[in-house]
Each structure stands twice: as C-alpha cells, then as structure tokens.
Structure 1
Amino acid sequence: MESKRQRQVAEMIKRNFSLVLQQEGSYIYGPEPLVTVTEVHPTPDLSQAKIYLSIWNTDNKQAVLLQMEEEHQRLKSSLAYRLKRHIRRIPAISFYIDETLDEMHRVDNLFDRLYREDQMPNEE
C-alpha cells in the first residue's frame, strides 16, 4: 500500500521525467522512437524509483533502454534540476520496459483471430 507521499512523489517524477525525455530524448536515442513514462514506483523511503517506459516506433526496444542506461547520469541530473525545489533527496532511478500495451494488443489480436475462425460465440 503506497502512502500519500509516495503517490505524490511518483506523480511528480512521472511528470518531470516526461519533460526531460521531451527535451533530452532525441539526443540520446534519436528522433524515431517514442518513449513515454507509464508508471513510477518509489520505495517507501523514497530513496529509489522504478520508472516504467512504453517504447513505440522501433523494433529494438532493448537498444533504446540501453542507450538511456548509458546516459543515466545525464537523465538523472536533468530530473534533479527539475525536482530540487520539491524533494530533499533525489531518488536513484532505474528504467524498465512496460509491456502492458503490447500485451493488450496481442490479446486483442488473439480474440479477433478466434472470432474470425468462429471459435468464439458472437455477441448478439
């Protein structure tokens, strides 16, 4: 169960890191991939934050994530600059790929295929 402060910090990190990606992202992973922040999960002591990213418009999502890891310090510095008036200590950040939307599309396509093959009853 997240505390109110954890939810506040998570939302603050999510909004500000999204802005950092808008400004710095094209220099790090190029103009083609579209990277969005889907979720942020800070630890109860707010010392660490897991940032979940949705990566679109590229076939190699892992390469984008690796490029972000290489520029980890640059991204954290930009985030710290935006958060310094709001948080006493900037949490250590780590990046993860959020596969939720990909999984949703996969399941949706599976249902479409089952309907086409008449293996599912029609909703009438």
Structure 2
Amino acid sequence: MESKRQQKMASLLQQELAQVMQRDLPHLFGGGLAPSISMVKVTPDLGQARVYLSLLLGNDANERLEIVRDNAKAIRQALAKRIRQTARVVPELIFFHDDSAAYAAHMDQVLGTLDIPAAPKDEADASEEKPARPRLFKGE
C-alpha cells in the first residue's frame, strides 16, 4: 500500500511528466504525438519512479518506448527544472509500456463477436402480464 507521500509524489510526477513530454520535449517524438502517462508508481524512498506509458496511436510502440528510454536523462533534467521548488530529489525514471487500454479494446472485440442466444420464454409468463401475488393465508 502506498503512503500519502508516495501518492502525492506520483501524482506530481504524472502531471509534470505529461507537460514535459508535450510542451518541453516534443521534438523527441518526431512531430508525432507524445505518449500519455497512464500511471506512475514511486518506491517508498522516492528514489525511483516507474512510469507507465500508453502508446496507443501507431504500430511502432516498441520503437517509441525505446526513444523515451534513450532520452530518459533529458526527460529527467527537464522534469527537474519544473519540480525543483517542490521536490528535494528527482527520482530515477524507469519507463514501461502500459497495454491495458489495448487489452480492453481486444476484450471488447472478443465479447462483441460472441453469439449469445436469447433466453427462452416460458408459456406461463407469456399468458400473464403481472406476476401472481403470493398467498399468505389459505383463504386468500
């Protein structure tokens, strides 16, 4: 379970890394869309941050992840400039590919192709519109 301190740092890193990738270092992605940051997890000592990138657009997800990993030092330096007043130490950034959105789209496609027949109707249900009231006593 993450502490409040870890959660605050993860939230700060997620917001600021998104700004760094979109505004400060867009040239790293060759004019294409910068990857979106789906989640950041910080170790208890705040020394490392695991950054999960959503690389949905384009088929070159592995190449784009390698570009980010190769430029991790530049990204960390740009991040340090943005959070130097807030954080004492900028954590080491470790980037991972987050494919949960692609998996959800795949599962949606699989569920959409299933052929599920409709439930059969009972003859008793078809003749009565309202369900019968339960009898509480013999005389009712």
Task: Settle same-fold status: TM greater than 0.5.
Answer: yes
Partner residue in 2 for 1:5:
5
| Pairwise CA distance, 1:70 | 1.5
Q: SS at the partner of 2:35?
A: strand
1:31 shift after superposition: 2.2
After TM superposition, where is structure 1 displaced by more than 3 Å over at least 4 residues in a row?
none
CA contact (8 A) 1:33 1:55 kept: no
Give yes or no for contact 1:51–1:95 (8 Å, CA) kept in 2.
yes
After superposition, the CA RMSD in angstroms is 1.5
The residue matched to 1:46 in structure 2 has which SS? coil
Tell me the equivalent position of 1:91.
91
The TM-score normalised by the length of structure 1 is 0.90
When normalised by structure 2's length, the TM-score is: 0.80
Equivalent in the alignment of 1:42: 42
State whether residues 38 and 53 of structure 1, in contact with CA within 8 Å, keep that contact through their aligned partners in structure 2: yes
Equivalent residue number for residue 100 of structure 1: 100
Higher helix share: 1
Q: Deviations over 1:30-78 (max 9, x none)?
A: 2224410010000011000000010122101010011111111110100
Q: Show structure 1 runs of 5+ residues with no match.
A: none
Instruction: List gaps (5 residues or longer) in structure 2.
Output: 120-140
Indicate the structure whose relative CO is greater, using CA pairs within 8 Å and at least 6 residues apart.
1
